[in-house]
Amino acid sequence: MRRVIASLGFAILWAGCSWAQQTPPAPQTARQALIEMFFSKTPGTFLKHLPMATRTALEKAGELVTLQQYSVLASQLQTQGQNVRTFETGSVLLTSEDPKTDQKFEILVEK
C-alpha cells in the first residue's frame, strides 16, 4: 500500500514539474514577421500582420488584392526553379539565385 501511495505521489510531482517547465514560445521578431508576410504559402498570412486600420484603408482604396499578390510572388519564384533563401539573423535578409542565368540577388539590412 505504501508503494502505491509513494508511486502515486511521485507521479503527481513529476507531472506538476513537467507542466511547470513548459515555456511559451518566444515572441516573433519583426524580421520573422516580415519573412512570414512575404514568403508564407498560407493564404491570408500577409494580412494577419497588418493593423485593422491599414486593412480597412487598403480595402477602401481597392489595393488589398494587389498587396496580397506580393506574397504569391515568392511561391512563383520557387516554382520557376529559383533558389530563394531567407535568413532570420545577420545582414542578409534574402538571397535568390537563378541557375539558368547564373544571376544572384540579395537584400541586405543595414540597420
Q: Express each pLDDT in 25-83 by its tens digit.
A: 788 888 888 888 877 777 778 888 889 998 889 888 888 777 777 766 666 666 666 78
Tell me the three state secondary structure of residue 75.
helix
Helix (H) or strand (E) holding 108: strand 103-108
Residue boundaries of the structural domains of the chain: 27-108
User: What pLDDT score does 111 carry?
Assistant: 77
**Predicted model pTM:** 0.59
* The pLDDT value given to residue 12: 64
CA distance 4 to 44: 53
